[in-house]
Structure 1
Amino acid sequence: MSVELAAVILTYNEAENVTACIDSLRWTDRIVVFDSLSQDETVARAHAAGAEVIQHAFEDYARQREAALQAVDAEWILFVDADERSSEEQAAEIRTLIRSGEHNGYWIPRHNYIFGKLTRHTGWYPDYQLRLLRRSKAHYDMERQVHELVNLEGEPGYLKTPFIHYNYTSFAQFRAKQRRYVQYDARMLQQQGIQPKPHKFITQPARQFIWRFVTLEGYRDGWHGLRLSLLMAWYEFQKYVHLRRLERDRP
């Protein structure tokens, strides 16, 4: 049966987060955990918290979200990651906006907690995500497997109330995710015909650091902002290292 608003939580091995995420979304009409065949207690805990569970094998993020759009019958879909939390303030704003019918989708800002610290600068705020979608007016671009792109009819609107995002709770988690992004981004550069010229191993990390620390005011996050800016510069360097490896392995 179709409802006005369904929350969809994409999960894979999110047993530690899924219950709290579900609890923050009880104001919606329906909560669906769209699970990528988790190996931990995610599914059991989702059922225990009263959510519906749909399991679907993971190919990439764009296809997973598109599959959820097709599977969950609701006028509006609110996509939420398991490490994100909604709020009563956000609930009131979303209900008002979707009933106005002004837009077919909305960007939602996020307050990112990185290594336990609220990160207000350095590129992690407002960190808008296009997550509230009128189901019949939105589809995902299958060419964008990471950092998904929504094809939306009409111009989207913007929420004021953010998600709370418990992002990167440890350095090990940060490093693992950045390594995956590095590999994907390097492949994208290769497809665009960009060459790993020697000077780019210096200029691109330097630009990343200046962009994070100066342009995006990472200095206002203090030592935390400095560390994040240096880390992102390092992974920019690693991106070109991986690109060079791809070029060497090209048939």
Structure 2
Amino acid sequence: MTPKLSVAIITLNEEANLARTLASVQFADEIIVVDSGSTDRTLEIAASYKAKLFLEPWQGFARQKNFAIERCTGTWILSLDADEALTPELQAEIGAVLSGDPTADAYLLRRRNLFLGRWIRHGGFYPDPHLRLFRRHSANFAPPARFTNRPVHETIALDGVTETLKHDLVHHAYPTIESYIESLNRYSTLGAQTIIDKGHTSSSRLALLHNVLVRPILTFLRNYLLRLGFLDGREGLLLHLYHSTYTSWQHAKAWQTTRNR
């Protein structure tokens, strides 16, 4: 019998997160874990939760997730990051939707982001919807469903009907400031390549000044003041302060890469 729901997860040294994630999807019919070379207990943890393990060298976020999708056999696919977990309410909601007659081709999940252990409710960080639950084959997908091939912030291309579920996916993203800065550094490098691909590099001194100084300041003011990020306390201050530097870093890295051209 074809599994109803497959869960697809990609991993690399996720022993701190993976058990929590896998425990939250035990109601699924199939769990696929694609690992790109973990040296910690990630594979041991995945095996203990009866996940189907595949080893694949790192290809980039979109390609790695597509590799995981291709190994799923379920009618529906739930794509998760290894630091995300479903609340009990969301588990029940997904079960109820799939056991009935789903009215959509895909579902957005409301994501609850945690920073230094605090739920960030303002500044544009909640409900932070992400398309994670979708039919493997649909008249509106090029079968099977795939993530768009881009360096960062990969998404599922969708022309069909989309709805949003009511309950939360919890993102245990950044337990320390060090992990957040490391993530910003990594993603700003990928974001710089997107800027280069679009031809939006800072071609003049004035453009560079705007992108590495003015734009980050405006980003901070918008999220921290206008979008009420200050209501999330000291954690909110640090989050939005460092998040605004992401914009600066990616434009500076794009300029650095192209300055000799």
Matched, 1:139 2:146: yes
Equivalent runs, 1:202-217 vs 2, <5 Å:
202-217=213-228
TM-score, length-scaled by structure 2:
0.89
Distance across 2 between alignment mates of 1:249 and 1:48: 51
Structure 1 residue 58, shift from structure 2 partner: 1.8
What RMSD over aligned residues (CA atoms) do the two structures have, in Å?
1.7
Distance across 2 between alignment mates of 1:227 and 1:123: 15
Distance change >3 Å, CA 215–CA 71, structure 1 → 2? same
Structure 1 residue 145, shift from structure 2 partner: 2.7
Give the SS at the match of 1:172: helix
Distance across 1 between alignment mates of 2:76 and 2:254: 40
Equivalent residue letter for 1:233? S
Q: Which residue of 2 aligns with 1:25?
A: 25
Matched, 1:247 2:258: yes
Equivalent residue letter for 2:130? Q
Structure 1 residue 198, shift from structure 2 partner: 3.9
Q: Which residue of 1 aligns with 2:81?
A: 81
Q: Which residue of 2 aligns with 1:191?
A: 197
Structure 1 range deviating more: 129-138 or 220-229 = 220-229
Q: Which residue of 2 aligns with 1:102?
A: 103
Give the SS at the match of 1:27: coil
Are the counterparts in 2 of residues 104 and 153 from structure 1 also a CA contact under 8 Å? no
Moved over 4 A (4+): none
Structure 1 range deviating more: 31-40 or 2-11 = 31-40
Give the SS at the match of 2:65: helix
Equivalent residue letter for 1:78? L
Unaligned ranges ≥5, structure 1: none
Give the SS at the match of 1:174: helix
Structure 1 residue 55, shift from structure 2 partner: 1.9
Q: Which residue of 1 aligns with 2:183?
A: 177
Unaligned ranges ≥5, structure 2: 139-144
Matched residue pairs, number? 249
Equivalent residue letter for 2:181? R
Q: Which residue of 1 aligns with 2:231?
A: 220
Q: Which residue of 1 aligns with 2:71?
A: 71
Structure 1 residue 109, shift from structure 2 partner: 1.0
Distance across 2 between alignment mates of 1:92 and 1:153: 27
Distance across 1 between alignment mates of 2:2 and 2:61: 25
